[in-house]
Amino acid sequence: MGNPNLLSGASAVVFSLAFGLLLSAVPPAEAQDASFWSFLRSGQVVQRCADSTPAYEQAVIRLQRVDKQIQQLKNADPPTKAVGALHDLLRSECFLPAAETERIPKPDTALSLKDWWTNGGGGDWLESFLELPRLGPVDSLKPHVVVQADARKTLDLDAHGQHPLSTLLCPLVDSARGAETRGWRMRADAYFEAHHALGSNKGLTDDEPRKRGPGDISEQCADKVSSTQTGQRYQDWRDCIEMARPKRVALPLGEFKAPTTGWVVITGRRGHYDFCDTTRAYNLTTGAAFIHDSCSGLALRPGGDVDVAATNKGRVDSVKAGSIQVDNLREAVWMMLLRGEAEELQLKAEYYPLPAGLSPQVKVRTREDDLSAGAMWANTGQTSLTWRWVPTTGTGFVGELTWPSSYDAAESHAASLLAVAEEGFVEKRCAEERFPGASTFTSSKDRNLNDVSADAIREYDRGFKGTLDKWRALPICSSPAR
């Protein structure tokens, strides 16, 4: 790809399909940095450097120097100098065409910078301003425009010692501490990719191209801007491409430890017409499980209203003790804790064929329109669970979880992991340990991770208090004879 004396990389094509009940919603605006290009005049036309000119040759040398500087970084090294060199390079003559985008990378660690440069194709993006890569069948190679990936944030103990989840974070210099959860991260990435491909994470908008392949998107964007003034057509095409670029949810970079102590208590309704109001507690050290389900079905009056008295009269209570697989439980709680840290972004550089007749030159302008748009889906079978993790030492956490699935990929994965853990429940005739008293769960310092409402927390407290005595009254298994 491109000049073999510069840098090389690969591309990936990701697609999504919309399904479910679309709700009117717009996600947070993408990170923009219009101020980065503030030194350029509005209306200024930025041309690409001609091959073999002194400016071009100097740009090649500077790009290779920045590449070497980034490649030599260790994950825990300060990134400031290398990021500064990258930004200086972007402000130099032959890289000014990068002003076609306002997404300027600002990696927060050397790990993030290296990931963006190599895995995210940042080096290929810079190279493309010196020579557009020519891709396709050997007999019909076409120039392609590179759309850069987003720089991922890092969640590490070195820079986030005051983060609420600091007890789960690892320093960048000691990656071995997070080995136990690397497989969990791989499983999460696979789930996020599948969730995106099924369209659960983002619905298509009226302005977004229907087909998801780079060639199809390029053609549709070209058709869309065909009536635009010639001097503005490339930038409008590039803006259209920017809106259609593939993004999916990903966890932050860094290594994370597993939650291994204390109790997680989960309350809330599961189901719709046939439902159970549930309160369940699991021990993250032993796998001990305590369950209280109050199940019924909605009794409806002729007009469709719920007959509350008849619904409650049909309730069947179930109080159980047993165990679940502790590794499955820990992975579920790990994802419940981290799901709010996941973000939607473009992970890899994408390559779009440049339509015939378009010249890749940029006319600087002020952009005020947010190009991002999206939608969410929901269904009437979704409910909200409130959970609380009380570790043996340290601060507890309270959060919420849409059940049994969500438009949010990280939240949906957490729910699926919880379902997997609970599927392994083995009921026993007696409890292998007495459920702790209320004092174990008394705290006014819980961290609220997901903006759980005060009403939801009060409902959680009512459910837990109403169940506590039932669990403590269960018979305790006799110790085996020695």
pLDDT at 363: 85
pLDDT at 1: 39
Which residues of the chain are modeled with pLDDT < 50? Answer: 1-32, 200-204, 209, 369-375, 377, 480-482
Q: Nearest-CA neighbor of 349 among 169, 83, 122, 178? A: 122
pLDDT at 479: 62
pLDDT at 12: 31
Extract the tokens encoding 279: 């309160």
pLDDT at 34: 66
C-alpha to C-alpha distance for 20 and 378, rounded to whole angstroms? 7
pLDDT at 23: 33
**CA 97 from chain center: how many Å?**
30
Q: Look at the block and give the residue holding tokens 């009254």.
A: 473
What does 126-192 look like in DSSP terms, one character per residue?
Answer: HHHTTS--EESSGGG-EEEEEEPPPPPPB--TTT-TTSTTGGGB--TT-GGGGGGGHHHHHHHHHHH
pLDDT at 304: 87
pLDDT by residue (tens digit) across 147-184? 999 999 999 999 999 999 999 999 998 777 889 999 99
**Cross-strand bridge partners of residue 256:** 169
Determine contact, residues 161/334, Cβ cutoff 8 Å.
Answer: no
pTM comes to 0.87
**CA 203 from chain center: how many Å?**
16
C-alpha to C-alpha distance for 321 and 323, rounded to whole angstroms? 7
Burial of 190 (0-12, 13-18, 19+ CB in 10 A): exposed
C-alpha to C-alpha distance for 151 and 135, rounded to whole angstroms? 25
